[in-house]
Amino acid sequence: MIEIDAERLKDRFIRYARINTQSADGVEDRYPSTPQQLEFAKLLERDLVELGLADVRRDEHGYVTATLPASPGCEDRPTVGLLAHYDTYFGTSGDGVKPIVHVYEGGDIVLPDDPDVKITAEENPDLALHVGDEIITASGTTLLGADDKAGLAEILEAVAWLIEHPEHPRPRLRLGFTPDEEVGHGTKYFDVAAFGADVAYTMDGSTLGEVENETFCADMALVTIVGRDVHPGYAKGKMINALRVAARLIESIPQGMSPECTEGREGYLHPVSLEGNTGDARVAYIVRDFEVEGLERLERYLEQTVEALRREFEGARIELEFKEQYRNMKLYLEKEPRAVPFALEAVRAAGVEPKLTAIRGGTDGARLSAMGLPTPNIFAGGINFHSKFEWVGVSTMVKATETILHLVRLWAEKG
C-alpha cells in the first residue's frame, strides 16, 4: 500500500512555486538565461543533500543531478532517470508568485489580486474531477509554475518515500533537474553519457493519466528585413518601410495555418516576435508539425511567401533562416520498447486510466530521446500552463507521485 504524504508534497511545491525562476527568451551570451535559475539550483542542491541522496552535483550550467542506489537484488536492472525542469515560462510574470490553496466546491475560481482573472468551470472541465479536493492557483497577476515545479516536487516526494520504504524494489535512479526548458535550451549542455541512465521520464505532462510518446517536430524561422529609411517628408518613391514588409509577411500566412485554428495532429506557422523600425525589422516564427514531411511543407510555404515579398518590395533585402529545435520523440523511443508500456502500466497501478497522447509542444524528453536517452513524458498535473489561469489539483500530484513509485517497481521487477 502506497500512502503519499500529501501535505509534505504540497508544501514542497508551494515553497518552490514562490521562487522566481523565469527563463528569458533570446539570450545567447549566458546559460542559463537568467541568474535566478542558478540561485534556485543551489537551493535544490541543498534539498537533495538533506534527503540523503548520493552523488549530488550542481554544475556551472545549473544542471542538478543526484543518485538513489538500487535496492538489494536490483543492482543489475537498467538505470532509470527522473527529470523535471525548474525554469518557468518567460512570457507571463513569475515574480512574486503567491500560491493559494482552495478547497474546490464547484463553479468558477476568482483570483483575488485581479478579479477579472477567473478560472471558469466552463473552460476547465477537469475541475469537475476535483470537487472536494484542494486546488492550488496563483493570485491572479502571475503564473503558478506547476510547469514544471509540480513535476519537481513529485520526484522529490517519491524519492523521500523510497528512502523511508527501503523494502520497495527499485533500480538505480538518476535524478536530473534542468534550466531553460521554456526557451528550448533545457538540454543544451546536458551530458547524456555522464548522466548514466538507460531510460528516463520527464514529469512534465498535464492532465491526470497522460503518458506522452510524441511531440511536435519543431524549427525556428527568423526573417530579417532591411528596408530603405529616408526622411518621410521626401519618401515618395524612395522609402521601403521594413515594418510594412513585416506586417505584410504576417498577414500573408493564412489564419488557418495558425495555432489558434489548429488542433490534434495539425501543424502550424506561428509568429512569436516582431521588432524593428522603418529601416530594418525581424520576425520570428515557430514552425510545428508531428511529421518531418509536414514541417518541410510549412517551411516551403514560408519560403514561397518570402520570395513573393522580395518581388513585391523590390529593393528590400529579405533573408530567411531556419534553426532546428527538436524532433518528434516517437522517432527515437523504439530504442527502448519497454519505456512507454511500463509508464502506462504504472499509471494503471496508481488507479488511474492511462491516456497515451501526443504533445502539441515539446519537452526536454524530445531532445534527450534524439540524443540517445529514450524519455517519454508523464503527467504532473498542471493545467493552463504559461498563464495566470494555471492551476493544479493536489490529488493529481499525489497520483503522479504514486505513478513514479509504481514505475520504479516495474523496472526493478521486469527490467
Active site residues: 87, 181
User: Cell for 283?
Assistant: 520576425
Cα 13 to chain centroid distance, Å, stands at 17
Q: Quick check: helix, strand or coil at residue 130?
A: helix
Tally of CB atoms within 10 A around 22:
23
User: Amino acid letter at 414?
Assistant: K
Contact status, residue 404 vs residue 155, Cβ threshold 8 Å: yes
Question: Which residue is associated with the grid cell 493559494?
Answer: 100
Q: What is the 3-state secondary structure (H, E, C) of 310-379?
A: HHHCECEEEEEEEEEEECCCHHHHCCCCCHHHHHHHHHHHCCCCCEEEECCCCCHHHHHHHCCCCCCEEE
User: Cell for 350?
Assistant: 496508481
3-state helix, strand, coil in the chain (%, to 5): 35, 25, 40
User: Amino acid letter at 332?
Assistant: Y
What is the C-alpha separation between 189 and 168, in angstroms, rounded?
34
